[in-house]
Amino acid sequence: MADDILDRVRSFASRSDEQPVEEPGEEPAEAEETAATEAAEETAMADAKAAPQVKDAGGAEQAPAAAPSAARSGGGLAPAGIIRACPIPSGAVIFGELTSAFVDGPRLVSFLGERRHTGAIVDAGRNRVQVALLYEGTAVGLVAVGEGATRRVESLSLPAPGSGDEHQLTVLTYRPEVTLALAQLVNTPERFDRMHGSFVDLPALLSFLRRERANGAVRVTTGEDAGVILLRAGEVLGAYTRHLPELDDEEVVFPLAKAGDAEVDVCVGALTLPPPSIPVASILV
């Protein structure tokens, strides 16, 4: 059911020679903060990388606090363009295999925004799959997969009921930290890219990223599969592959690096709260 939709998401994923473009800098929220913006952003980046993790009352790990100007800026997402494969993991399905024959996709997206949903909405058409990552009701990542490529996009095109172009819609729920790591996978330029798997020791790479308290993801791609290891402050949140989408330990990705055509990318960067996002109303066309 929902797995069929997710399989369609992953079956279209492919690699590309083009690289993501670094997202534009954030603007200060208030005029009087203009002179201090640069220093505040540098402080936020340093804190996100070096500050210790904290836990809430329930024991869940939280992101380091961002500097005030970064937290209030609400910046945008990275520019549209072809990117490397970005498969998504399976999650808790709250609405599954809804058909656009009787479900209004734009109204569903608006509903999720109003409910401050955290997770993903997957729209599977005949030749294209679109994924919107949502964090507390705002869009933090937009990806479309089709025609042999994965693209970061600026909006979603969802059919209205009765339009004749029938799509399947699935709504997934993720833990907030998983959603943020996926957003960094989609939006953050690679720190290390296209490293051949034959000379990369994945356990050693993860140890290095743990010492650096890195936030983001490590991606391993082959001609047959793609795997992702999600990170928060250097610790592994979970790992999965296109063919094994359930979140698991990092070892589930290790075999991919042994393939003759394996390539390894590292997409890590500063983590701010709230993350760069856009209102869900602006992603609909």
Cα–Cα dist 124/223, whole Å: 22
Give the pLDDT of residue 125.
87
Q: What is the pTM of this model?
A: 0.74
pLDDT tens, residue by residue, 37-79: 444 344 333 443 333 343 333 334 444 433 333 333 345 899 9
36: tokens are 């201090």
| 279 upstream amide cis, omega within 30 of 0 | no
CB-based contacts of 70: which residues, under 8 Å, 6+ apart?
26, 40, 41, 44, 272
Nearest CA-CA partner of 236 in 178, 174, 176, 190: 178
pLDDT tens, residue by residue, 225-281: 999 999 999 999 999 999 999 999 999 999 999 999 999 999 999 999 999 999 999
CA distances from 123 to 32, 78, 231 (A): 43, 21, 26
Cα–Cα dist 94/114, whole Å: 16
Q: How much of the chain exceeds pLDDT 90, in percent?
A: 63
CB 218 within 8 A of CB 266: yes
Average pLDDT, the chain: 80
Cα–Cα dist 117/184, whole Å: 18
